[in-house]
Amino acid sequence: MRRGAGHVLSGPAPGRLSPPGRLRTRERSTIPGPGRTDRPDIPHGSHVVTDNGARANEEHITVGEPEVRICVVGDELSAGVGDAKGLGWAGRVVARTRFPGTAMVFPLAIPGETTTAMSQRWDAETSRRFDHDPEADNRLVLALGRHDLDAGLSVARSRLNLANVLDVAEHRRLPTFVVGPPPGRTEDNDRVAELSAAFADVANRRRVPYVDTFTPLVTHEQWLADLATSGGGYPGQAGYGLMAWLVLHTGWHAWLGLPDDVA
């Protein structure tokens, strides 16, 4: 099996997330409550990856397991813009995931991208990175942003764009995971809520996992403090940690066929 280079190989040393907050997510458990640091208040470690953790997890790679390739397609939020650690939510999620074999994660971000632009480029970009071996485990993550609102796209058009991507992915037998848009400017909250609900409906109709990042974060003190500090509408380390927590607790491991060890 190839030991290829990717964005991240696997997760950190063993640790279980036990956040104390009580805001509900769509599936299970609760989002971490506000802490006194710049990261979520998680007793047993944080979402930040250390070199020691990365090296420790390489010991868990099992020879003979199929190589996993995951393409994360989205706007600048999927690339972790504003995160001083450079991890974003995707890097934190992968760092918390124990892949049994080699895993390569490819962030394919374009700043300001709408769902229309995403629907036009995702197939060509991901196909160049996926392994075309019949035994390969290729997967797609769609990181949906808020730029449809700025571009004046209707909710109906946004729905159709996502539906088209999911339908093509299903035709290619490509497992897909969707992360919805998080809150941004306060004046946009109602429209982002409507957009997120529309995306969730499209995904749910196709039995594709969907992470609602808007509802749990729209009134979360730590998220709002992060946005206020950045001044540019982007989260920092704490905000990306919260997004990563939501992804990890909304079907991520089940989607990968892995044990859920972050309860």
Tell me if 61 sits within 8 A of 9, measured CB to CB. yes
Q: Is residue 34 one of the residues assigned to a domain?
A: no
Question: Residue 62 — pLDDT band, cuts 50, 70, 90?
Answer: low
Distances in Å between the alpha carbon of 85 and those of 79, 115, 141, 205, 237?
12, 27, 21, 36, 7
- Distance (Å, whole) CA 185 – CA 198: 19
Region 216-230: mean pLDDT is 94
Q: Is residue 27 one of the residues assigned to a domain?
A: no
Number of domains the chain contains: 1
Q: What is the pLDDT of residues 77-128, one digit of tens each?
A: 999 999 999 999 999 999 999 999 999 999 999 999 999 999 999 999 999 9
Q: Is residue 11 one of the residues assigned to a domain?
A: no
Q: Is residue 13 one of the residues assigned to a domain?
A: no
Residue 131 is predicted with a pLDDT of 82
Phi and psi (nearest 5°) for 196?
Answer: -65, -40
Domain coverage including residue 252? 54-256
* SS3 state of residue 176: strand
Question: Which of 173, 163, 195, 171 minimizes the C-alpha distance to 182?
Answer: 195
Q: What percent of the chain has pLDDT over 70?
A: 75
Q: For residue 59, what is the domain's CATH number?
A: 3.40.50.1110
Residue 32 is predicted with a pLDDT of 60
Q: Is residue 148 one of the residues assigned to a domain?
A: yes
Q: Is residue 129 one of the residues assigned to a domain?
A: yes
Instruction: Check residues 260 and 53 and name the one with the higher pLDDT.
Output: 260
Region 233-247: mean pLDDT is 95
pLDDT above 90 for 220: yes
Per-residue H/E/C for 196-232: HHHHHHHHHHCCCCEECCHHHHCCCHHHHHHHHHHCC
Q: What percent of the chain has pLDDT over 90?
A: 68
- Distance (Å, whole) CA 81 – CA 74: 12
In terms of average pLDDT, the best of 10-24, 51-65, 67-81, 126-140 is 67-81
Q: Is residue 221 one of the residues assigned to a domain?
A: yes
Which of 13-22, 118-127, 190-199, 212-221 is predicted with the least confidence, judged by mean pLDDT?
Answer: 13-22
Predicted structure pTM score: 0.79
pLDDT above 60 for 172: yes
Tell me if 190 sits within 8 A of 150, measured CB to CB. no
Q: Is residue 48 one of the residues assigned to a domain?
A: no
